[in-house]
Every structure is written in structure tokens, then in C-alpha cells.
Amino acid sequence: MVQVRLLQALSFLGVTSGGILIWLAFQPENLMCPHERIIEACNPNFFYLIPGFLILLVGLGLAGFIYQRSSPVANP
């Protein structure tokens, strides 16, 4: 039971932190958008975007693993 709680916590942490990093990547105050160009459209900051997607995928993968492990079909 402790292992499942640990996996749930890591999954939640991965999804949450990945979502926050992806959100930060699209903020106009990031490093890719100087303050003079805030009105114009800016590209996302890939420094936050790529790790954000990777961490989000790990979190979702852990959530899928937990769901598969706890389903009654997997445990006869």
C-alpha cells in the first residue's frame, strides 16, 4: 500500500509540475520575450516547455500504471 501511495504522489507531482512548467513557457515575462515586445506575440520558452512535457508524460504514465495495476482484470 505504501508503494501505491508513493506512485500516486509522484504521479500527482509530475502532472502538477509539468502543467506549471508548460504554463510558464507561454507567459510573456519569460526569457524569450523582451519587455519591449510584450504586446506582440512571443514564441514559447523551450527551456520550460520541453521539460514540462517530459515531466507531464512521466506523471501521466505513472497514473496509467497505477490504474492498470489497480484494475480488477489485472488482479485475478
Residues 42-60: pLDDT tens digits? Answer: 677 788 889 999 999 999 9
CB-CB contact of 74 with 23 (8 Å): no
Dist CA 54 CA 48 (whole Å): 10
Q: What is the pLDDT of residues 12-28, one digit of tens each?
A: 999 999 999 998 888 76
Contacts of 49 (CB under 8 A, 6+ apart): 21, 22, 25, 26
CB-CB contact of 5 with 69 (8 Å): no
Q: Write down the pLDDT at residue 30.
A: 47
Dist CA 33 CA 59 (whole Å): 29
Dist CA 51 CA 53 (whole Å): 5
Q: Write down the pLDDT at residue 9.
A: 92
pTM of the model: 0.74
